[in-house]
Amino acid sequence: MKTHASLPSASALPARPSRAQAGRDAVDAGGGSHAQTPARTPAARPAAAPASPSLSLSNDSYADTGNVSHKHIKFNVAVPTGLNAADFCLVNKVQGHLKNADGTFRNAVMYGSVVPYNFPTEQVDSIDADPIYWSTPSQRRNYTTEAGGFSATDDPGPSSLGYAFAPGMEARLKFHIGLYRTAEVPTTTTGTLAASPISELPWQYSVVANATTGAITHPVL
C-alpha cells in the first residue's frame, strides 16, 4: 500500500503574511510603489549686466542781454557704483558756421590750427588733436567731479567779441555730445572718430541778429 508523505500540521506551517504586511514589504523592498522623482535644481540665473553710465544735459537754454547771447550748457555724466569714472569721457561734434555781418566766416581753433568757422559736415569739435572734450596736452580728462559722476560745460559763440552779435551776424551750429569709453578714443584726430558712443545727445547754438534792428532770435536748426 502506497503511503503518502505526511504533511506538517497547520500549527507547524509558517504564517502567511497579511495583504497589508505584504504590501509594506513590497514598498520597503522596492523603494516605494513608484520611483521617487529627484528634486529639480533651479536653473542658475544669468549674472545681471553691469549698469552703464548715463548722459544728460542741463542749462540748455539761451541767456540774452541786448546783443549778447550765451548758452551755458552743462553735460552731466552719472557713473553707477562699481564703475570707474576715469574709464569714460566726452567727445563733442559740430556742424555749421559762425558768420560776420559781411558774410565772411569767423575763425575757430580746431586740432591746434586756426580755421574758418565753417563745417559743412559733422566733425569732432576739439581745439587740440585729442578728440576728448576738455583735454589738455598734459591730461586727457579734466572734468568737474560730481557726486556720482562728472560734468563739463560749454559756452559757444563769438567769445573774442564778448559773445556780442552785430546786426547781420549769425551762428548756426548743431552739436552732438557723446559719452565714450576712454580706452576706445584715440589720442589724435583730424575730425573723424571710429569709436561708438555709449550714448549721444543733440544740442545747438542758433543765434541770428537781425540785419536792420540787431534783434536776437534763435531759429531751430
pLDDT (mean) for 168-190: 99
Cα–Cα distance for residue pair 168/163, rounded to 1 Å: 14
pLDDT over 70 percentage in the chain: 78
- List Cβ neighbours of 103 (8 Å cut-off, separation of 6 or more): none
pLDDT above 90 (res 150):
yes
Element (H, E) at 27: helix 19-30
pLDDT band at 105 (very low <50, low <70, confident <90, very high): very high
Q: Residue ranges per domain, the chain?
A: 54-217
Cα–Cα distance for residue pair 190/125, rounded to 1 Å: 10
Mind listing the pLDDT tens digit for each residue in 11-44? 444 444 443 444 433 343 344 444 555 567 666 6
| Mean pLDDT over each residue of the chain, to the nearest integer | 87
C-alpha to C-alpha distances, 153 to 75, 90, 144, 177, nearest whole angstrom = 6, 11, 9, 11
Residue 200: phi and psi, rounded to 5, are: -150, 140
pTM for the full predicted model: 0.78
Cα–Cα distance for residue pair 120/104, rounded to 1 Å: 15
Please give the pLDDT value at position 44. 66
| All cell numbers assigned to 47 | 549674472
Please give the pLDDT value at position 170. 99
DSSP codes, 197-212:
PSEEEEEEEEEEE-TT
Contact 197, 178 (CB under 8 A): yes
pLDDT above 60 (res 153):
yes
- The count of other CB atoms within 10 Å of the CB of residue 34 is 8
Helices first, then strands: H and E counts in the chain? 1, 13
